[in-house]
Amino acid sequence: MNNSNFLVFACYLPPINSSRGRDAPRFFALLLAQIYLNDECDAIMLTGYFNSRIGSLPDTLNDIDCVPMRNTIDKSINQHGHEFIDFLSASKYCVLSGRFQGCDNLTSISTRGKSVVDYICDPHDVFDKCKKRTVAVEIETISSKNPTDFWKKVRKLGPRSYKCIPQEVVDDNGNITRSEQEVLERWSCDFENLYNGMSSDEFDSEHYIQAKVHKTILEENMEDPLYVYMMTESRNKRKKGNSSGRESNCYENKQYKVDQSELKDKDYEQSGSI
């Protein structure tokens, strides 16, 4: 698919026995809407954990759709599987599982059994562009029982993000250069001029004035008086279980009114502020 643009949707449908997995029709309706909204793309691929077991249910029309027959290794069917098949029929998609000889494998293996619940789905009209589909089973071949080695292997699966800084810069001609000397010189020059411009014309006086005004407003707001009723409201809003502060204002104190006799300071009596 040279010179083509495509999207990959990563999907997750919770199990049917969970509180968030009981509305599979709505899940697939939203997914179908996203496909329609992005119809300008050449292809949209679906992948993820659908928790759907479709068994031998047909996901294509054998006499009409030009898609190979699917070989089934998981014969079980659940309710999510029926909803999944309805979605595939409405969207003209098909699953890749079971359609590539020698590339099929179970995607979920646990103490409860083995199943195929992870799928990659493609539109019928781009199926011929798919050359291969495999299940990553490298994790099953780990001979070491060391958990550290296990998690190192897991981190290597799937896409990885590289945290190293690319040693390249764009020169004055707009070309990308990877020469170590040129890169270091450019970095050094840019860092020196980060806060010190090349000329006085680069100084933004308007931004400086705005920053000073903003600083003044913040300082004025910090000097606003704090009244007794503000303290009372703050105390009443405290949630049970919060730890007490410096003055031991626990939650239980809010059931009592503030004892005004404690405010004996003349300044408090005159202004009512702290």
Backbone φ/ψ region at 151: left (φ over 0), alpha (ψ -120 to 50), beta: alpha
Residues 20 and 119 in one domain: yes
Cα separation, 52 vs 108, in Å, equals 11
pLDDT value for 195: 67
Residues 242 and 149 in one domain: no
pLDDT in tens, 83-117: 999 999 889 898 887 777 666 555 555 555 555 66
CB 203 within 8 A of CB 250: no
- In the 8-state DSSP scheme, what is residue 128? G
Residues 132 and 15 in one domain: yes
Residues 247 and 218 in one domain: no
Cα separation, 193 vs 198, in Å, equals 7
- Higher pLDDT: 146 or 182? It is 182
Enumerate the H helices of the chain as residue ranges: 24-37, 79-91, 147-155, 180-192, 205-222, 228-236, 266-271
The fraction of the chain above a pLDDT of 70, given in percent, is 66
pLDDT value for 245: 53
pLDDT value for 32: 92
Average pLDDT over residues 110-132: 71
Classify residue 105: in a domain, yes or no.
Answer: yes
Cα separation, 135 vs 20, in Å, equals 27
Residues 29 and 139 in one domain: yes
Classify residue 164: in a domain, yes or no.
Answer: no
- In the 8-state DSSP scheme, what is residue 169? E
**What tokens does 165 get?**
């800084």
pLDDT value for 31: 92
Strand partners of residue 12: 49
Average pLDDT over residues 195-217: 75
Classify residue 163: in a domain, yes or no.
Answer: no
Cα separation, 22 vs 80, in Å, equals 9
pLDDT value for 125: 83
The pLDDT of residue 185 is above 50: yes
Tell me, rounded to whole angstroms, the distance of Cα 229 from its chain centroid: 43
The pLDDT of residue 200 is above 60: no
CB 235 within 8 A of CB 253: yes
Whole-prediction pTM: 0.47
pLDDT value for 132: 61
Among 104, 121, 155, the domain boundary falls at 155
- In the 8-state DSSP scheme, what is residue 235? H
The pLDDT of residue 191 is above 60: yes
pLDDT value for 262: 46
Average pLDDT over residues 9-13: 90
Give helix then strand counts, H and E, for the chain. Answer: 7, 8
Residues 181 and 261 in one domain: no
Residue-level length of the chain: 274
Mean pLDDT over the full length of the chain: 74
Residues 232 and 129 in one domain: no
Residues 240-263 as b/e (b if ≥16 CB within 10 A, e otherwise) read eeeeeeeeeeeeeebeeeeeeeee
Residues 46 and 177 in one domain: no
pLDDT value for 188: 87
Q: How many domains are there within the chain?
A: 3
pLDDT value for 143: 61
- Higher pLDDT: 268 or 39? It is 39
Cα separation, 128 vs 149, in Å, equals 39
**What tokens does 211 get?**
């920053």
Domain ranges, residue 98? 6-155
